[in-house]
Amino acid sequence: MKSKGRQLKELLAAPEILIAPGVFDGFSARLAASRGYRTAIVSGAGLSESRLGWPDRGIMGFEENLNACWALADCTELLLQADADTGYGNAINVAFTVRAFEKAGLAAVMIEDQVWPKRCGHLAGKEVIAAEEMVQKIKAAVDARTDPDFVIKARTDAAGVLGIDEAIRRLNLYAEAGADCLFADALLSEADIEKVARSVSRPLNVNMGFGIRSRPTTPLIPAKRLEAMGVAQISYPRMLTGSAVRGMMNALDAFESALMSGETIDRPDLAVGFEELNRLMGIEAIEEMDRAYATPSTETKSPTAVAGLR
């Protein structure tokens, strides 16, 4: 059987562009899988915001990220791609980081060249480390993996700090060091994206800010257009997090309006039903296990009988 890394590499090398929604919890991961997506990125911003309640400013640490990714890999067959920020230290730390995410069942891990503590690529004030230091991190990442097909994704944030040509130079250095997939964040124009895609030697990942009301740093471009430009994968890291928050806001608005009016309301348009939610979360598998391991005593016990034992 092909490893997860091998499967992801084949998808990245295919002529059709690969779409990777951003997931951040069991709901989003299972939903993406149910819609037929083959891969998804585990959004570092999404984890920090949903688990810690703080923005993507380097507040979430290695163990919190790893544990979240481990749980997601355990509940879905998606080829998950982790966001390991800067690798949580120097090249030695990167080696242990890569080893841990591979063991956790991921298909890929991304390391970026920002100065720690990092910040979201679309926030001002980013700094990048020397390209030579990042090269050593990528070499350590490549050497640390057990499966040679486990995908090492190298990200640069140099475009907004040092210019597009430096971003391209860095990405090619990272490819020479062994990175399997490349990512230049916060590119400012369609022309910049096309220039990077045509100038690098490994598959290129581009982020799209689908669902952002204010103008994103990177323009929103149709997938087919990006495919024609030579982009291998598009990730939508904030689509599901933004939609989830909007959905909760809409539900609270309706609930609070009902409280004020004294009405009792049912809004199936704002909430998933109990049965549908349980199906999404895999209740059939649990019920099958329940039947498989049931004993005569557990099958015949009633709640009253069980209560009488107390």
pLDDT single digits (tens) 38-90: 999 999 999 999 999 999 898 999 999 999 999 999 999 999 999 999 999 99
- 285, pLDDT greater than 80: yes
CB within 8 Å of 301: residues ≥ 6 apart:
none
In contact, 32 and 40? CB cutoff 8 Å: yes
Of 17, 63, 60, the residue nearest 39 (C-alpha): 17
Q: Tell me, what's the pLDDT at 119?
A: 79
pLDDT band at 214 (very low <50, low <70, confident <90, very high): low
Q: What is the mean pLDDT of residues 256-276?
A: 90
Q: 198: part of which helix (H) or strand (E)?
A: helix 190-199
Position 305 scores a pLDDT of 43
301 pLDDT higher than 80: no
Q: pLDDT grade, residue 300 (50/70/90)?
A: low
For the chain, give the mean pLDDT: 92
Say what the pLDDT of residue 310 is. 39
DSSP annotation of 230 reads T
Q: What are the residue ranges of CATH 3.20.20.60 in the chain?
A: 4-238
pLDDT classification of 298: cutoffs 50, 70, 90: low
What's the pLDDT score for residue 117? 86
Answer with the residue of higher pLDDT: 306 or 47: 47
List the end-to-end C-alpha distance of the chain, in Å, as a whole number: 50
243 confidence band (pLDDT: 50, 70, 90): very high
Tell me which CATH code domain 4-238 carries. Answer: 3.20.20.60
- 135-153 pLDDT tens trace: 999 999 999 999 999 999 9
- Whether the predicted pLDDT of 200 surpasses 50: yes
Contacts of 234 (CB under 8 A, 6+ apart): 17, 18, 19, 20, 205, 206, 207, 208, 223, 226
Overall pTM > 0.95:
no
How confident is the model at residue 171, as a pLDDT? 98
